[in-house]
Amino acid sequence: VALGAYPTVRIRGDRREDVEVTLYLMRVTRQLDRWPERGQRRRRWMTLPEAAARLGDPGLVELLNRAAERLEALAPAKPAKGRRKLKAASGR
């Protein structure tokens, strides 16, 4: 089940295209050193609050909040007492 979707612009050469990106929550079981898109994408592990601070986009941050809620529902053994909603970084 998708967390949600957001609109963005994809630029390929001199072409600009409006697209909608759909986000899914997934379990990572291993991480490869080499992958097909490694020349196009960087990856970095971070906490949800760190990701929210880097994004700055309130719509994407709301999707991170949905991810946090789903993760808490999947692992209720450690309830997040007083977990606050993530906020987008200011000034972006």
End-to-end CA distance of the chain: 30
More confident residue, 75 or 28: 28
pTM: 0.60
Looking at this protein, which amino acid is placed at residue 46? M
Tokens of 67: 């991810």
**Residue 78 in this model has a pLDDT that exceeds 70:** no
R_g (Cα) of the chain, nearest Å: 16
Euclidean distance between CA atoms 42 and 80, whole angstroms: 30
| pLDDT tens column, 19-67 | 998 989 888 899 999 989 999 888 899 888 888 888 877 888 888 888 8
Q: What is the pLDDT of residue 74?
A: 81
Strand, helix or coil for residue 45: coil
